């Protein structure tokens, strides 16, 4: 009986830690009451930035929508005029977010009312797990499959014979090109195309046919030509022609998620 009472008392203690980690939205309470999360949505909570990742099919977007660090506040506003975002019942496993909505036309968000979102850690949809597998993968060279890792996209060439003359210009114009901060991420089971400033897309499974080709899902294999041990050309089929996308291996040890977080922190 004493043990049972102790467990009940401990279970009723409020969780007051700051949420830190990756959390999935589980329920949303708004205009139509509490419902199962209508969006495949995640909060990435750190001491420096809070990011939102949302999945639509196999495509994901990442943004700094909160513009604040999510720290514990308690579940009550300071007064009736206080519409600040509230964080409570929070620790490494879960947290509740309560925010004031003024959206007259949204299906779920109330107009001039509180919206409550409950989040849990270690919960992912299938495609959400693919995305985070790629975003949290540490770039590393694997002799058994040298394609694995993170690659930055330098640009395109029409013919492989043009690579030698085109490469210096691609490198010179990289920062101002449309491929700046665009990456390919190969994990043992997942492929992702990541644009650091807004998100990307994932595919699973990816099958490696040696080091010279890979297949995404059931699509035709894409050929790879090795230019050096850290630069490759990936076949890109467009209509009736074949171009080549030039990739360079990333060896700085940063995950894509840390790269995205750093970019958002630097914008503040």
DSSP 112-175: EEEEEEEEEET---HHHHHHHHHHTPPP---TT-TT-EEEEEEEEES-GGGHHHHHHHHHHTGG
Q: What is the DSSP letter of 13?
A: S
Give bridge partners of residue 27 from the DSSP assignment: 36, 118
pLDDT at 127: 96
φ, ψ at 183 (rounded to 5°): -135, 150
Q: Output the furthest CA–CA distance in the chain (Å, rounded).
A: 80
Residue 158 to residue 180: CA distance in whole angstroms: 19
Cβ–Cβ under 8 Å, residues 150 and 185: yes
Give which of 203, 104, 186, 106 is closest to 152, Cα–Cα: 186
Q: What is the pLDDT of residue 9?
A: 34
Give this prediction's pTM.
0.89
Give one word for 47, left, alpha or beta, with left for phi > 0 and alpha for psi -120 to 50: alpha
Q: Which of 158-162, 176-180, 252-256 has the lowest mean pLDDT?
A: 158-162
* 216: pLDDT strictly greater than 80: yes
Model confidence at 268, pLDDT cuts 50, 70, 90, reads low
Nearest to 42 by CA among 263, 259, 193, 257: 257
Question: In angstroms, rounded to a whole number, what is the distance separating the alpha carbons of residues 250 and 229?
Answer: 12
């Amino acid at each position: 009986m004493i043990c049972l009472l102790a467990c009940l008392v401990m279970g009723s203690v409020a969780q007051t830690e700051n949420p830190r980690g990756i959390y999935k939205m589980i329920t949303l309470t708004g205009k139509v009451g509490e419902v199962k999360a209508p969006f495949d949505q995640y909060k990435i909570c750190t001491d420096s930035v809070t990011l939102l990742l949302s999945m639509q099919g196999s495509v994901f977007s990442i943004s700094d929508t909160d513009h604040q660090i999510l720290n514990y506040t308690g579940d009550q506003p300071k007064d009736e005029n206080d519409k600040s975002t509230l964080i409570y019942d929070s620790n490494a496993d879960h947290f509740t977010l309560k925010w004031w909505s003024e959206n007259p036309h949204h299906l779920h968000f109330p107009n001039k009312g509180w919206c409550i979102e409950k989040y849990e850690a270690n919960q992912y949809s299938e495609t959400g797990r693919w995305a985070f597998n790629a975003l949290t993968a540490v770039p590393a060279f694997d002799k058994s499959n040298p394609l694995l890792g993170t690659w930055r996209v330098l640009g395109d060439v029409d013919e492989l014979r043009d690579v030698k003359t085109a490469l210096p210009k691609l490198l010179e114009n990289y920062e101002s090109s449309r491929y700046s901060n665009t990456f390919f991420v190969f994990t043992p089971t997942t492929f992702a195309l990541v644009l650091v400033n807004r998100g990307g897309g994932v595919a699973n499974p990816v099958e490696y046919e040696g080091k010279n080709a890979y297949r995404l899902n059931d699509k035709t294999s894409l050929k790879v030509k090795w230019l050096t041990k850290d630069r490759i050309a990936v076949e890109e089929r467009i209509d009736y022609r074949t171009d080549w996308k030039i990739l360079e291996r990333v060896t700085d040890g940063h995950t894509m998620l840390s790269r995205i977080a750093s970019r958002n922190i630097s914008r503040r």
